[in-house]
Amino acid sequence: MSDAGKPLIVVAGATSKQGRSVVTSLLESRRFRVRALTRTADSAQARSLARMGAQIVTVPLEVDRQGEFVQAFESADGAFLMTPPVAPPSAVEFPLGRQLADAAVEAGVGHVVFSTLENVEERSSGTKYAPHFTDKALVAEHIRTLPIVHTFVSLSFFYTNALEYYAPRIDGDRVLIPFYLPEDFRAPFVDPLTATGPAALEVFSHPGAYAGATLPVVGDVISPGEMVEAFSRVTGLKAEYRNAYGREDLLTHVPELAENPLLVDEILGMAEYAVEFGYFRKDRDMEWSRRIDPHALSWEQFLRRTDWRGERVSFGS
Ligand SMILES: NC(=O)c1ccc[n+]([C@@H]2O[C@H](COP(=O)([O-])OP(=O)(O)OC[C@H]3O[C@@H](n4cnc5c(N)ncnc54)[C@H](OP(=O)(O)O)[C@@H]3O)[C@@H](O)[C@H]2O)c1
């Protein structure tokens, strides 16, 4: 098929971990064209997407830029929408997600895929504070009312959190790995850099089959204790779990969070929500992503593939 005949998918947040994965899978399939949205067209990540064949369009994911979003979505068949990390007290995630979706409708996009999370406020009857979950669920609720074919993907906890945000401390020959979850609590985790794309490719390839669906993206269901044990096995290094589940312990291991007490509340709220209510609603199909992507990385495969040995890693563009 000539490039001109291929459906065009716009990817918001294209240089993000999720976005890069989506752009890569769509272009490697050779069945789609991609327009990649970024704030900075000449960043290393944006240039790398351009070399892969993506059209780069400069537009920040900020509220009140709906006109720019509409232009960016012009003539697109589909759009992958996500919201960048937002720390409280900022509350832009809901209006931003809503404006992205409204712009897609206004531009006549055929199908939107939004990266959502569960409604923590509703599931916990207001007892847990995790706006970066609930605000995505509210965006999804809004999208359900729009005259556009829509599908939701819902990513598990990222494996990359341990590399990027909660990096271990090296103490002599021991790697001390802090986790915001209890040692024995099994939760869904995933590699956003390799798992988001196959999920999006599957959905954009069969829009009718997934209309209205919310699809968890899961690589492994594993406890922090098991993750530490796998880390030792793969790297040959001595490693120990460090408890960061609870305010004092979290601030001991990630002291820089003290600058933003609301963010601490949010991390604790998210972790308690996952433990007490389950990360995903019970009716979600936890096997879907691993069925459509049998190469989805388990934590152990992720460690082998990345060769991670406990250092802090930045995935920024
Ligand atoms: N961490 C987890 O365990 C987890 C699990 C599930 C869902 N999530 C959600 O995943 C989302 C983050 O995805 P990610 O980790 O793939 O993103 P990421 O790697 O942190 O990248 C965020 C991207 O957003 C783009 N961006 C555009 N406008 C922005 C703005 N105004 N401010 C900040 N960034 C802007 C940046 O690209 P340019 O600089 O090129 O514009 C950047 O590449 C968050 O909504 C988070 O809640 C996280």
From first to last of its 317 residues, what are the pLDDT tens digits of the chain?
678 899 999 999 999 999 999 999 999 999 999 999 999 999 999 999 999 999 999 999 999 999 999 999 999 999 999 999 999 999 999 999 999 999 999 999 999 999 999 999 999 999 999 999 999 999 999 999 999 999 999 999 999 999 999 999 999 999 999 999 999 999 999 999 999 999 999 999 999 999 999 999 999 999 999 999 999 999 999 999 999 999 999 999 999 999 999 999 999 999 999 999 999 999 999 999 999 999 999 999 999 999 999 999 999 75
In a domain, 239, yes or no: no
Distance between CA atoms of residues 108 and 74, nearest Å: 7
Instruction: Quote the ligand 1 centre to 21 CA distance (angstroms).
Output: 12
In a domain, 316, yes or no: no
Q: Please report the pLDDT score of residue 316 as a whole number.
A: 79
Q: Please report the pLDDT score of residue 64 as a whole number.
A: 94
In a domain, 148, yes or no: yes
In a domain, 78, yes or no: yes
The side-by-side arrangement of strands in the sheet containing 238-243 is 169-171, 174-179, 238-243
In a domain, 109, yes or no: yes
**Angle of helix 17-28 relative to helix 192-205, nearest 10 degrees?**
50
In a domain, 227, yes or no: no
Q: Please report the pLDDT score of residue 254 as a whole number.
A: 96
Instruction: Say if residue 224 is exposed, middle or buried (CB neighbours under 10 Å; 0-12, 13-18, 19+).
Output: buried
Q: Which domain holds residue 200?
A: 3-156+190-218+277-296
Rounded to whole angstroms, what are the CA distances from 55 to 67, 214, 246?
A: 19, 28, 44
Rounded to whole angstroms, what are the CA distances from 108 to 20, 75, 82, 102, 298?
A: 24, 7, 18, 10, 38
In a domain, 118, yes or no: yes
Which 3 state secondary structure label does DSSP give 86?
coil
Q: Which atom of ligand 1 is nearest to the CA of 133?
A: 47
Domain count, the chain: 1
Test site for ligand 1: of 16, 21, 96, most ligand atoms within 8 A of the Cβ = 16
Instruction: Quote the ligand 1 centre to 5 CA distance (angstroms).
Output: 31
Instruction: Quote the ligand 1 centre to 13 CA distance (angstroms).
Output: 7
In a domain, 97, yes or no: yes
Ligand 1 — pocket residues by CB below 6 A? 13, 15-18, 38-40, 43, 46, 60-62, 82-85, 117, 132, 155, 157-158, 161, 192, 315, 317
Q: Please report the pLDDT score of residue 317 as a whole number.
A: 59
pTM passes above 0.95: yes
Can you give the CATH number for the domain in which 151 is found?
A: 3.40.50.720
